[in-house]
Amino acid sequence: AQFLPAKSNRDWQILHHYHHGGYARTSPALLTLCEEMQQKYAIPVEPVYSGKVFYAVKDLLAQGAFEAGEQVIIVHTGGLQGARTDPDSHS
């Protein structure tokens, strides 16, 4: 993001601290969120990419980071194909 023009990122930001230890690393809280997304909402979420995004959004909501009525866009970053082939490989 440091190479983008300053005015192009005034309404969005990249948060780097929701990596749960790095690429393909997990935490018990992250794995629980992935299971909850499937069980409660029938949304398959894997812990390498999209699970971390949903975890971050849930945490930010709990912190009150968004104003009422504010639009939030979640960019699905892929990874679900890996969860289909070996669901236990990321734990």
Per-residue pLDDT of 69-90, as tens digits, reads 988 888 776 677 656 655 455 4
End-to-end CA distance of the chain: 30
CATH code for the structural domain at 6-85: 3.40.50.1100
| pLDDT at residue 24, as a whole number | 86
Q: What is the mean pLDDT of the chain?
A: 82
d(CA 5, CA 16): 19
d(CA 84, CA 23): 18
Per-residue pLDDT of 41-77, as tens digits, reads 998 889 988 899 999 999 999 999 999 998 888 877 6
| pLDDT at residue 77, as a whole number | 66
- Give the predicted TM-score (pTM) of the model: 0.74
| pLDDT at residue 75, as a whole number | 75
Per-residue pLDDT of 1-35, as tens digits, reads 566 666 665 677 788 899 999 988 999 999 999 99
